[in-house]
């Protein structure tokens, strides 16, 4: 389901959206670092929650929509071969 928002989201809100995505599609052993605003998009570093090891990145538009083409795939985030 697509949710449309009428305002730009803050880093904490983007982190919440990223965590929800990860729990739903990747697994609950993941976490995110503080999102970084760069080049008009949010870049979110994804880590293993029990090791702080970076496993990939998710990229979001300012309103919170995932940019799949600029994000690592679900398979990569799960550690599976692509």
Whether 5 has a pLDDT exceeding 80, the answer reads no
Backbone angles phi, psi at 66, to 5 degrees: -65, 135
pLDDT in tens, 31-68: 999 999 999 999 999 999 898 899 999 999 999 999 99
Whether 4 has a pLDDT exceeding 60, the answer reads no
Q: Calculate mean pLDDT across residues 3-29.
A: 89
Q: Which two tokens stand for residue 25?
A: 């599609």
Residue 2 lies in a domain: no
Q: Note the maximum CA span of the chain.
A: 38
Residue 55 lies in a domain: yes
- Name the pTM for this structure: 0.89
Domain count, the chain: 1
Q: Calculate mean pLDDT across residues 9-33.
A: 96
3-state secondary structure of 23: helix
Q: Which domain holds residue 64?
A: 11-78
DSSP code for 66: B
User: How many other C-beta atoms lie within 10 A of the C-beta of residue 37?
Assistant: 13
Cα(4)–Cα(24) distance, rounded to whole angstroms? Answer: 19
Residue 46 lies in a domain: yes
DSSP string, 43-64: EEEEEETTT--EEEEEEE-TTS
Confidence of residue 6 (pLDDT cuts 50, 70, 90): low
């Amino acid at each position: 389901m697509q949710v449309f928002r009428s305002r730009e989201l803050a880093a904490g809100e983007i982190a919440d959206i990223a965590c929800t995505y990860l729990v739903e599609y990747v697994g609950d052993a993941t976490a995110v670092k503080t999102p970084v605003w760069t080049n008009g998009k949010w870049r979110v570093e994804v880590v293993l929650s029990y090791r702080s090891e970076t496993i990939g990145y998710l990229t979001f538009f300012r309103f919170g929509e995932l940019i799949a083409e600029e994000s690592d795939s679900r398979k990569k985030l799960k550690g599976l071969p692509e």
